[in-house]
């Protein structure tokens, strides 16, 4: 039986889709990507792929399916964190999830602890322009969860814990540096200096440096300035 196709419905500006893209790159997965334009969503997308109309979404099943008309028998999977586990299950030797049950629990604990913080913090600061101090305090909590010397979130191997939070860190860095957000004009660079240049956040900076030197990261994250405003607009419109 031929390997089932993976059709990945995505958008480069979506932070949640990027989590999954990052994992696909790490696993060196063979994936057909179909970009969904948020401003101009195809009318077949919700009825044929994802009733919630969001990305990321994945169709997995019979080979050679047409992305615009995937076989109704193929499985549809959504939710970025469920998709990260799915990619780890499809590629058990990628290291995306360790094999040891206790280590796997550590990866999931990290994802849980951080994902409950990053989304609300991003929404509050970048999309509603609320307190920079509260945002910085949340980032400090996240830094506390990183192991003191290991390269990645739960050890020296890249796992789905990294795929889950790296897109947030990368976007924060990019948006702050370019002063993009609903906060008062000029706030961005000040917060950037605190988080990405000060000694207080040295651990976080080292972690982001480890992440951004991965080939998989460079392939999945487009740091072009043109993308920065686009990401922000997309985020605002979609509540991302």
Shortest distance, position 111 Cβ to another protein, whole Å: 9
Q: 143: exposed, middle or buried (C-beta count within 10 Å: 0-12, 13-18, 19+)?
A: middle
Closest to another protein by CB, 103 vs 222, is 103
Specify the residue, 37 or 89, whose C-beta has the smaller distance to another protein.
89
| CA separation, residue 63 to residues 3, 6, 70 (Å) | 7, 8, 10
Cα–Cα distance list, 216 to 25, 27, 120, 172 (Å): 5, 9, 26, 19
* Closer residue to another protein, CB minimum distance, 63 or 189: 63
- Shortest separation between residue 235's beta carbon and another protein, angstroms: 20
Element spanning 47, H or E? helix 45-48
Nearer to another protein, 89 or 156 (CB): 89
Task: Considering the complex, state which of residue 92 and residue 190 has its C-beta at the smaller distance from another protein.
Answer: 92
Helix, strand, or coil (residue 78): strand
d(CA 217, CA 80): 17
Least CB distance to another protein at residue 115 (A): 12
What's the closest the beta carbon of residue 50 comes to another protein, in angstroms?
12
Give 3's DSSP letter.
P
Q: How far apart are CA 49 and CA 45, in angstroms?
A: 5
Would you tell me which residues interact with another protein (CB under 8 A)? 60, 75, 77-79, 81-83, 85-86, 89-90, 101-102, 104-105, 108-109, 112
Distance, in Å, from the CA atom of 224 to the CA atom of 174, rounded to the nearest integer, reads 9
DSSP at 69: B
183 versus 240: smaller Cβ distance to another protein: 240
How near is the Cβ of 77 to another protein at its closest, in Å? 5
Going by their DSSP bridges, the two strands 57-61 and 75-78 should be labelled as: antiparallel
Least distance (Å) between residue 89 CB and another protein? 4
């Amino acid at each position: 039986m031929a390997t089932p196709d993976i059709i990945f419905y995505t958008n480069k500006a979506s932070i949640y889709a990027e989590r999954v893209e990052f994992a696909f790159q790490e696993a060196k997965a063979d994936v057909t990507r179909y970009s969904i334009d948020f401003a101009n969503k195809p009318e077949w997308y919700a009825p044929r792929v994802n009733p919630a109309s969001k990305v990321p979404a994945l169709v997995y099943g019979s080979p050679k399916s047409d992305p615009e008309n995937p076989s109704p028998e193929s499985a549809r999977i959504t939710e970025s964190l469920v998709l990260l586990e799915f990619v780890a299950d499809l590629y058990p030797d990628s290291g995306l999830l360790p094999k040891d049950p206790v280590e796997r629990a550590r990866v999931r604990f990290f994802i849980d602890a951080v994902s409950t913080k990053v989304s609300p913090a991003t929404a509050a600061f970048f999309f509603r322009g609320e307190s920079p101090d509260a945002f910085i305090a949340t980032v400090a909590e996240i830094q506390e969860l990183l192991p003191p010397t290991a390269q990645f979130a739960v050890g020296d191997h890249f796992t789905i814990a990294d795929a889950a939070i790296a897109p947030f860190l990368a976007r924060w860095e990019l948006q702050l540096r370019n002063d993009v957000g609903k906060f008062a004009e000029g706030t961005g660079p000040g917060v950037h200096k605190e988080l990405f240049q000060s000694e207080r956040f040295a651990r976080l900076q080292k972690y982001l440096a480890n992440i951004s030197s991965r080939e998989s990261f460079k392939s999945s994250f487009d740091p072009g300035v043109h993308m920065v405003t686009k990401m922000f607009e997309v985020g605002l419109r979609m509540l991302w």
